[in-house]
C-alpha cells in the first residue's frame, strides 16, 4: 500500500445498484478514492493503478477465485471459513462499521493474522461486549491492525490528541494498560492475570 493516507478501493459486485451505492458511499470519505466499480467478472483483467483494497459483494467462492494483489473485504450473506479475506455479513453491519472495516482491512492486509482473526463478522458484538462507541471500535480495529497514533489520526481525519483520548477510553473499557493487552482483549486471546 502507498504511504499516503488516501486509500484506493476497487468495488466489485454484479448488482449495478449495489455497485453504484458502494461507490458513492465509499467515495464520500476524503481518505477513500474509488478507482472503479466493476462487475465481479471484470476483476480478472489487471487494473491500473493497483488498488489498496477490493470490496467484493458476492459469494465466498468469488473471493477464493481472486488472484488480485490487494486485500479483499467480502460483503456476503453467508460467512465462509477459508475465504482468505476479511468478511462482513449483510445485516450485521452499518455504514460506520463498513468504513472502519475498509480502513482496517486495507491497512492490515488481507493475509495478516490480525485481519483474519477479526474477520469483522459481527462488530456489534464487540460494542455490546466492551461498551465501545462506533468510533472507538474503528480506532481499536486500527490499533489491532498495527497502526500508530499518527496513522490512525490520518485515517480517521482526526487529531493525534483525539486519538489519544479515544485510546485512553478504550483502555479503560478493556481494562488494559498497554496496546498488547488491549489487542489481546479485543481478539479474545488475553488470559486472566
Segments of the chain scoring below 70 in pLDDT: 1-5, 43-48, 64-69, 78-84, 108-129, 187-193
SS3 165: helix
CATH architecture for the domain at 7-187: 3-Layer(aba) Sandwich (3.40)
Residue 100 near residue 110, CB atoms below 8 Å: no
Q: Per-residue b/e over 163-178, b at no fewer than 16 CB within 10 Å?
A: beebbebbbebbebee
Predicted TM-score of the model (pTM): 0.57
- Give the pLDDT of residue 65: 66
Specify the pLDDT at position 103: 84
Amino acid at each position: 500500500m502507498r504511504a499516503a493516507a488516501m486509500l484506493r478501493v476497487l468495488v466489485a459486485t454484479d448488482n449495478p445498484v449495489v455497485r453504484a451505492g458502494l461507490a458513492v458511499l465509499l467515495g464520500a470519505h476524503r481518505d477513500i478514492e474509488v478507482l472503479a466499480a466493476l462487475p465481479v467478472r471484470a476483476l480478472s483483467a489487471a487494473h491500473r493503478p493497483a488498488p489498496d483494497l477490493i470490496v467484493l459483494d458476492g459469494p465466498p467462492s468469488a473471493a477464493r477465485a481472486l488472484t488480485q494483489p490487494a486485500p479483499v473485504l467480502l460483503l456476503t450473506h453467508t460467512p465462509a471459513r477459508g475465504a482468505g479475506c476479511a468478511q462482513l455479513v449483510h445485516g450485521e453491519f452499518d455504514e460506520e462499521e463498513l468504513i472502519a472495516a475498509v480502513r482496517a482491512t486495507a491497512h492490515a492486509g488481507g493475509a495478516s493474522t490480525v485481519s483474519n482473526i477479526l474477520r469483522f463478522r459481527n462488530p456489534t458484538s464487540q460494542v455490546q461486549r466492551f461498551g465501545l462507541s462506533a468510533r472507538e471500535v474503528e480506532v481499536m480495529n486500527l490499533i489491532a491492525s498495527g497502526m500508530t497514533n499518527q496513522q490512525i489520526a490520518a485515517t480517521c481525519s482526526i487529531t493525534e490528541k483525539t486519538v489519544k483520548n479515544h485510546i485512553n477510553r478504550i483502555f479503560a473499557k478493556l481494562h488494559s494498560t498497554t496496546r498488547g493487552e488491549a489487542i489481546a482483549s479485543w481478539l479474545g486471546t488475553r488470559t486472566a492475570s
